[in-house]
Chains A and B, each alone.
Chain A
Amino acid sequence: EIVLTQSPGTLSLSPGERATLSCRASQSVGSSYLAWYQQKPGQAPRLLIYAASSRATGIPDRFSGSGSGTDFTLTISSLEPEDFAVYYCQQYDTSPPVYTFGQGTKLEIK
């Protein structure tokens, strides 16, 4: 089973700053199989990035994903007030077919 570890657990930044969130896998993950989500309190998760670096429909270009193998990154180039939320990475493993999530990074206003 592939385990995803996100860091940091909490990130305190101000609007306008750049945010860099990390997702490390215990084994290599195919780039097609890595996604990122944003979740605000009381809401369902929202898909931001799929296939490691492709933005989902309607996602602003300040969100970008990168990485390969075991190390993936979500970058928010300039934080807007609405970006403060919890972010999860997710991977798909083929054998057996299963999806797993990281434990989340909370992005909070400094």
Chain B
Amino acid sequence: QVQLQESGPGLVEPSGTLSLTCAVSRASITTHSWWGWVRQPPGKGLEWIGAIYHGGSTNYNPSLKSRVTMSVDKSNNQVSLKLNSVTAADTAVYYCATNDNYCLEHWGQGTLVTVSS
């Protein structure tokens, strides 16, 4: 079954841009329609950030929409997340997941991003 692996800097400075990549393996990125991102602040619950269709259409959480950009790289079989103007409130474990059928079925292991100077 599909495997997902998030990667990116573990530390981002305040007001900077968080950039993460989700590498997809054991399946083509076109196997699933939508690819989502979810985050979880330490000790807290889950927040859906948004999702991108393999063709490039996006849906973003309205609470983050002004700061989020997602993209698809079919040639490298990966999806990416950018979140700008970050603050300490954006410190969280960030997950990518398949986002079809109104749920999130296959998840990456997650990557912790800390916003701090």
A binds B: yes
Contact A50 B107 (CB under 8 A): no
Within 8 A of A (CB), among B48-66: 48, 59, 61-62
A67 CB to nearest chain B CB (Å): 15
A50 to B104, CA, bound (A): 9
Contact A51 B101 (CB under 8 A): yes
Given A32-B102, A51-B101, A104-B45, are A99 and B107 neighbors across the interface (CB < 8 Å)? no
Contact A56 B48 (CB under 8 A): no
User: A47: which of B47, B62, B104 is its contact (CB, 8 Å)?
Assistant: B104
Contact B105 A47 (CB under 8 A): yes
Count of B residues near A, CB < 8 Å? 21
Within 8 A of B (CB), among A74-110: 88, 90, 92, 96-104
Interface residues of A (CB under 8 A from B): 32-33, 35, 37, 43-47, 50-51, 56, 88, 90, 92, 96-104
Given A50-B102, A99-B36, are A45 and B46 neighbors across the interface (CB < 8 Å)? yes
User: A97: which of B47, B59, B108, B109 is its contact (CB, 8 Å)?
Assistant: B59
Q: What are 27 A-to-B residue pairs whose CB atoms are below 8 Å?
A: A35-B104, A37-B46, A44-B97, A44-B108, A44-B110, A45-B95, A45-B104, A47-B104, A47-B105, A50-B101, A50-B102, A50-B105, A90-B46, A90-B103, A90-B104, A92-B102, A92-B103, A96-B59, A96-B62, A97-B59, A98-B59, A98-B61, A99-B36, A99-B61, A99-B104, A101-B47, A104-B45
